[in-house]
Structure 1
């Protein structure tokens, strides 16, 4: 169901291990991907900032997203629940984010912790995030996670980070959908990485949904669950035109 951004009023999901974005202004120190390394520059992995709705006055919450076309950004469903407004930033710097692009409507996938947000004004890129809409959960191999979330011990990220993870079987996401479980090799996901990509062979197979623990601290081998795009593949194609 598509909703005007001003009409979003769903209750925010709060569950053990869920990477629900923390209000940025409430953090004395925030973090990014735990461990890992700076990711290559890319305008398609974007920063999402939400406010209003169920978010307390004066606060904002942050997530990560993937721009898949001039008008649509892919992220996690729990990043849109209960919000009143959202902006998208294309800079890979969290200190100098550049000009915001407003979101005018959001829509949740029929299955899984997956959502699409629509840009009020189209924002053309030289290339967009490539999706694998057929990938299933794997019990072996590796992938790459990316995000703007908190780093170790809740230190604020200064930009986009990435880490290598092991693919460790099937699991469920925050909405009981199908997910890929991962464990960190060089780093792990944290708050603010919600909606960020799990890349396998260079394509997005899932978006960050929940963690095995609510706070990974400095544990670079922590586990998390990425909602698989395949469970809502036809909806993604028809909604975003990809």
Structure 2
């Protein structure tokens, strides 16, 4: 069953983008195994070699994934601050993996997607992108990010040091922050929050979405990667 667009009753206007303004230092959460919950709920990821933490002018702002040796996939609303850099392939945003700088940005004209070219070729495992029709309503999928761990006063102050993962349940098609095609999902064992923007939604091992908006309680919208495969391939070759 392919995703159908949700009825207008879904109030996307009530959702807000998941990026955090790079204006305050962030507080890392304790090491995995403590009772502080990542995302809001969910748990700590154990295997995500394609994961990338996005920094803008040295401050943590969003999540992302590496999809080819020199290309990062993230949300368009995450790249406007400039001075982009990434820590790639580490579950800990403060150490390990490979650090690379963004040298150019290609943003989709009508959806919340951007491709960032980095200044070096990074080997390893890249996120495999899904094809149209690979996500269905009521399917349980996984979402990843380093975002806020609670509905704190400033989401910049409760970011997770370690990559998080949560299950969400697909409810249908909707629109992202730029009115692009998106996949909406309801909370499973967790929900996305500020700083999870740009992070992947994964279905059966393939990335099918990029985090765009969330109400931090019950509903999140991910730009539908499968709907923009030809655009991604024309730029990144995958």
What TM-score comes out, normalization by structure 1 length? 0.80
3-state DSSP class of the match of 1:198?
Answer: strand
CA RMSD in angstroms comes to: 2.2
Is 1:66 the counterpart of 2:62? The answer is: no
1:137 and 1:179 in contact (8 A); partners too: no
Distance 1:186 1:17 in 2: 20
Distance 1:89 1:183 in 2: 29
Size of the aligned set, in residue pairs, is 212
The aligned residue for residue 10 of structure 1 is none
Q: Identify unmatched segments of 5+ residues in structure 1.
A: 1-14, 52-58
Q: Identify unmatched segments of 5+ residues in structure 2.
A: 1-13, 30-36, 153-157
Distance 2:128 2:135 in 1: 18
Shift of 1:169: 1.3
The aligned residue for residue 201 of structure 2 is 198
Cα shift readout 1:105-128 (whole Å, capped 9, x = no counterpart): 111023311110001111111x21
Is 1:134 the counterpart of 2:132? The answer is: yes
The aligned residue for residue 33 of structure 1 is 39
Distance 1:39 1:107 in 2: 29
Per mean C-alpha deviation after superposition, the further-off stretch among 60-69 and 198-207 is: 60-69
- Alignment of structure 1 residues 100-115 onto 2, 5 Å: 100-115=99-114
Cα shift readout 1:169-192 (whole Å, capped 9, x = no counterpart): 111101101111111111010111
1:166 and 1:184 in contact (8 A); partners too: yes
Cα shift readout 1:109-160 (whole Å, capped 9, x = no counterpart): 23311110001111111x2101013147643221110111111234331211
The aligned residue for residue 118 of structure 2 is 119
What TM-score comes out, normalization by structure 2 length? 0.81
2:135 and 2:208 in contact (8 A); partners too: no
3-state DSSP class of the match of 1:231?
Answer: helix
After superposing on structure 2, the runs of 4+ consecutive aligned residues of structure 1 that deviate more than 3 Å are 26-32, 135-138
Distance 1:129 1:99 in 2: 16
Shift of 1:231: 2.8
3-state DSSP class of the match of 2:159?
Answer: coil
The aligned residue for residue 230 of structure 2 is 234
Equivalent residue in structure 1 for 2:166, among 163, 168, 172: 163
